[in-house]
Structure 1
Amino acid sequence: MRIPRIYHAEPLVVGSEVFLNEEAANHVGRVLRMNAGQRLELFDGTNLTFSAEIVQADKKNVRVAVQESREECRESPLHLHLGQVMSRGEKMEFTIQKAVELGVNSITPLFSERCGVKLDAQRLAKKIQQWQKIVIAACEQCGRNRVPEVREAMTLEAWSAEEDSSLKLNLHPRASQSINTLQQPVERVRLLIGPEGGLTADEIAMTARYGFTDILLGPRVLRTETTALTAITALQVRFGDLG
């Protein structure tokens, strides 16, 4: 069996013993049914991975001994901040999961005029927590040791107005530039992905005022979740660590 990778939010120290958090303990002890003596790989959000051995395991608590560490940087040289107008149901979860696998560093859920998601403050807070758990699970699966942040949701204009030295890109079906025509080198990108119905003309004009460049992916109209992943992949191929 492949050695499970588990995220531990507190800093890890070689030679110490730690209890896994409730969710990780449930996964290791109840779902995987692992026992004392079996091995885990832990990571704590740094570029270090830690070999560990289970000391105690039951249905509620798992205690592990941290035995050794090694440095493993799996981050892309391209820093990507995804601004994603929220989509309905599982589409947003899918986008977040796959964006993390492709190397995105941070994600901001956005509200726009055509955003189909309507949530009160309490439900939105729960969604943010749920999306952050999806990020952690994606890191455990794909081997990333640094955990991207899902930021608090905000309006499209507030996000567009944030001061940022990154190259700002907005996907637009009638743009004249493509990712391949962008001038190198590019180290930081703020990528805007609109809702299922697209951005309004006023919103596109607003993003231009804040320094966003419209780019075109290709001749076909893509769904919002397809657009995000296609754009991230193309950026990683040109400026990052794919291909």
Structure 2
Amino acid sequence: MPRVFIPGPIAVGTPLALPDDKRHHLATVLRKRIGDALVVFNGDGFEYTATLSRVDRKQAEAAIHAQEAPRRESPVAITLIQAIARGDRMDFALAKAVELGVTRIEPVFSERGQVKLAGERLAKKTEHWQRVVESAAEQSARLICPMLAEPRALAERITRPIDADIGLMLAPTAQTGLAGIPRRASAALLIGPESGLSDREIEQAAAAGWQGVRLGPRVLRTETAGMAALAALQSLWGDLAG
């Protein structure tokens, strides 16, 4: 059954107009017709069972039948601060982060990062990343769609409050592993670019209260490091262990 994210109010008994991109996907790609079932959600912590009540080349509308509250969100709130990676690597990192239960994603430009974006190119790329996040939330049966923050420089982000119980940055020279960190209700996780965080960035982050952690003895790609760290955190503090 298709799941559709709608960033707006949803109410049982009130017809819901679907955005054009969702209409196109349901009608043209999935070939759904009037009476077909779907699930819609808007990030309020619920999902809504529905059926298509209208679908054509111009409009689509869903009848909302019931509100449900399955327990699928992790008890630990994780913000991923991901250094922007090239091409499909960034898409992969974002999608897997959503599947692994993050609540917020902050793309950042780092000193050693190889991606240079600004102006219209940055705006288009951010819109693309938002679609990646929404699609992953739909596919993974999330009840929320993680917030995607506007990209900014890592140096600027470090000067701001961590906004979590603990700030963790992956650093291969760190002496502590994730298993050695006491459990927290929330965490911010900083992942560097393909060539890693610079010494200056590590020093600045440490001075701002971020704690370095290592993730095993091997060197991981940036898109793998975030996925592995999130899986470990969800196993230790969240709901991935069952």
TM-score for the superposition, normalised by structure 1 = 0.96
Q: Which residue identity does 2:221 align to in structure 1?
A: R
1:196 paired to 2:189: no
1:29 paired to 2:18: no
Rounded to whole Å, the distance in 1 between the matches of 2:85 and 2:118 is: 15
> Which of 37, 45, 48 is the equivalent residue of 2:46?
48
Rounded to whole Å, the distance in 1 between the matches of 2:215 and 2:169 is: 11
Rounded to whole Å, the distance in 2 between the matches of 1:143 and 1:210 is: 36
State the partner residue of 2:93: 95
- How far 1:112 sits from its partner (Å)? 1.1
| Counterpart contact for 1:95–1:225, Cα < 8 Å | yes
Classify the secondary structure of the residue corresponding to 2:157: helix
Q: Which stretches in structure 1 are left out of the alignment for 5+ residues?
A: none
- How far 1:165 sits from its partner (Å)? 4.2
Deviates more, 1:226-235 or 1:43-52: 43-52
Q: Which residue identity does 1:70 align to in structure 2?
A: E
- How far 1:60 sits from its partner (Å)? 2.8
Classify the secondary structure of the residue corresponding to 2:91: helix
1:106-185 residue pairs with structure 2 within 5 A? 106-163=104-161, 164-184=163-183
Classify the secondary structure of the residue corresponding to 1:177: coil
Rounded to whole Å, the distance in 2 between the matches of 1:88 and 1:66 is: 40
State the partner residue of 1:18: 16
1:2-17 residue pairs with structure 2 within 5 A? 3-17=1-15
State the partner residue of 2:103: 105
Rounded to whole Å, the distance in 1 between the matches of 2:45 and 2:130 is: 19
CA gap 1:202/1:149 in 2 versus in 1, 3 angstroms: same
Q: Which residue identity does 1:65 align to in structure 2?
A: A
- Alpha carbon RMSD of aligned pairs, Å? 1.0
Classify the secondary structure of the residue corresponding to 1:108: strand
Deviates more, 1:119-128 or 1:169-178: 119-128
CA gap 1:225/1:165 in 2 versus in 1, 3 angstroms: closer
Classify the secondary structure of the residue corresponding to 2:62: strand
| Counterpart contact for 1:101–1:142, Cα < 8 Å | yes
- How far 1:206 sits from its partner (Å)? 0.7
Q: Deviations over 1:156-199 (max 9, x none)?
A: 12111211242111111111000011123x11111100011111
- How far 1:64 sits from its partner (Å)? 1.4
* Structure 1 residue runs of 4 or more that deviate by more than 3 Å after TM superposition: none
| Counterpart contact for 1:29–1:61, Cα < 8 Å | no
Deviates more, 1:174-183 or 1:46-55: 46-55
Deviates more, 1:84-93 or 1:125-134: 125-134
Identity of aligned residues (%): 39
Q: Which stretches in structure 2 are left out of the alignment for 5+ residues?
A: none
| Counterpart contact for 2:169–2:210, Cα < 8 Å | yes
| Counterpart contact for 2:171–2:214, Cα < 8 Å | yes
Classify the secondary structure of the residue corresponding to 2:145: coil
Rounded to whole Å, the distance in 2 between the matches of 1:18 and 1:202 is: 51
Rounded to whole Å, the distance in 2 between the matches of 1:158 and 1:229 is: 24
| Counterpart contact for 1:112–1:199, Cα < 8 Å | yes
TM-score for the superposition, normalised by structure 2 = 0.96
Rounded to whole Å, the distance in 2 between the matches of 1:192 and 1:6 is: 30
